[in-house]
Structure 1
Amino acid sequence: MEAVGYSSANTGLLLVDPYNDFLSEGGKLWPRAKTVAEQVGLLDHMRQVLAATRARGIRTFFVAHRRTAPGDYQDWEHLSPAQEASVKGQIFARDSWGGEFHPDFQPVDGEIRVHEHWSSSGFANTDLDFQLKQHRVSRIVLIGMRANTCVDTTARFGQELGYHVTLVRDAIAAFSPAEMEATFEVNAPVYAHAILTTEEFLDVLPPCPEEYGAGR
């Protein structure tokens, strides 16, 4: 799998669903994610990837799930099991702490908060593809939650649209080892152009501008 060519000119970091409900103690889904998240070092690796890409001028796109609001999905004909669970549990509820981004993963100036997705794909019924094209991004790097749902589906959709797709496997987590295996051992090898650890990804990034300047 090719793992070179990442630069601020062609690469975008897709930070998927960094909500408190997923990533923070007290979050509604954190008890289900905690074991795998801690096993892979999820939060530290997400921080490392985000810091490294920001330092190199690689733009971040926040790819967030729909924040549950009153009236959502009312009278829908084909409500999925995940959507039913979101309504019942008020997951990522609008105007709630759980529906806010983890404090370490907040947008800064120049970063894009994509229209919220209704199901698992960050591309379906959102402006993600449009935003990426407008910013001349042809390579997408995915981190965040959850491996076998929003990350996997967004990455697959991206490949179908012609993007070069990279998954940073220890900056992504799920609710069980089986879900991680389904993504990284079964699904992703079919569509992803690169599946890397955080260390491997950082190793193939170009030098930071200040590092380049210091070495000239």
Structure 2
Amino acid sequence: MESQNTALILIGYQNDYFSPDGILYGVIEESSKVTNVIANTVHLLQYLASTPVLIITTPIFFTPNYEELIEPIGILKTIKEVNAFQMGTPGSETIELLQPFQDRILEVPGKRGFNAFINTNLDEILKQRGITNIILAGAVTSICIDSTGRSAHEKGYHVTILSDCTSARTVFEQNFYCTSIFPLYADVMTHTELLSRLEIRILQKH
């Protein structure tokens, strides 16, 4: 895996998921704490920031009346009912711990559902940059991570999913996807294993 043709895609790193006062924090709180997602992601970014790796975030936003959602079901229905990820609200903003890396992170807007490739120009950006390897981190493991990962695989990218930088709704769900689902189409590893694969030497323990 070469840094120059690799992209890290950050999904769902917004306050409504990861801030203690976020509207949907309770959905992934248990899994996030077990996998130590935020600390691991920050540690990863500290090392990748000085490499050629393309770092992308694909936030999800909705207008105040959620006109983008036509008869939503499941989690999208819940998002609408609880007024999560509303454009211009603190809950829709990127979590504070990622702010130090904002100059290094390319925001790709337009995500309105599970798959980060739908309604965005993500695929176009990746192809323009010569990206062949995609690394996924964020939330929710069984929904947005899985949907985006499958789509990336079908588009011909080599997919890697970080087991300690993703959050599911439960610890069981996290383990199940990382051991039984993701390996069907992707490599699954920790962020330190990824750094080793990219031949980035970790100078200190975190």
Q: Say whether the fold is shared (TM-score over 0.5).
A: yes
Structure 1 segment 180-191 matched on structure 2, within 5 A: 180-191=174-185
Among 13, 16, 29, the alignment partner of 2:24 is 29
Does 2:93 correspond to 1:97?
Answer: no
Partner of 1:130: 124
Question: In the superposition, relative to structure 1, how do residues 11 and 90 fare at CA in structure 2: closer, same or farther (>3 Å)?
Answer: same
Counterparts of 2:67 and 2:36 in 1: how far apart (Å)? Answer: 35
Partner of 1:42: 37
Question: How far 1:206 sits from its partner (Å)?
Answer: 2.6
Question: In the superposition, relative to structure 1, how do residues 108 and 74 fare at CA in structure 2: closer, same or farther (>3 Å)?
Answer: closer
Identity %: 24
Partner of 1:214: none
- Which structure: larger Rg? 1
Question: How far 1:95 sits from its partner (Å)?
Answer: 1.1
| Structure 1 residues 183-210: Cα deviation after superposition (integer angstroms, max 9, x where no partner) | 2122211110x110122112222347xx
Does 2:176 correspond to 1:175?
Answer: no
Partner of 1:51: 46
Secondary structure (helix, strand or coil) at the match of 2:150 reads helix
Counterparts of 2:189 and 2:97 in 1: how far apart (Å)? Answer: 22
Counterparts of 2:176 and 2:84 in 1: how far apart (Å)? Answer: 24
Structure 1 segment 1-216 matched on structure 2, within 5 A: 5-7=1-3, 9-65=4-60, 67-73=61-67, 76=70, 78-106=71-99, 108-109=102-103, 111-192=105-186, 194-207=187-200
The RMSD of aligned alpha carbons is 1.9
Question: In the superposition, relative to structure 1, how do residues 91 and 195 fare at CA in structure 2: closer, same or farther (>3 Å)?
Answer: same
Q: How many residues end up aligned between the 2 structures?
A: 201
Counterpart residue identity of residue 44, structure 2: V
Counterparts of 2:144 and 2:44 in 1: how far apart (Å)? Answer: 19
Counterpart residue identity of residue 196, structure 2: D
Question: How far 1:131 sits from its partner (Å)?
Answer: 0.9
| Structure-2-length-normalised TM-score | 0.90
Runs of at least 4 residues off by over 6 Å:
none
Q: Which structure 1 segments of 5+ residues have no match?
A: 212-216
| Structure-1-length-normalised TM-score | 0.86
Question: How far 1:115 sits from its partner (Å)?
Answer: 2.2
Question: How far 1:74 sits from its partner (Å)?
Answer: 6.7
| Structure 1 residues 112-161: Cα deviation after superposition (integer angstroms, max 9, x where no partner) | 21123121000112111011111111111111111001111101100000
Counterparts of 1:75 and 1:173 in 2: how far apart (Å)? Answer: 24
Question: In the superposition, relative to structure 1, how do residues 159 and 14 fare at CA in structure 2: closer, same or farther (>3 Å)?
Answer: same
Secondary structure (helix, strand or coil) at the match of 1:55 reads coil
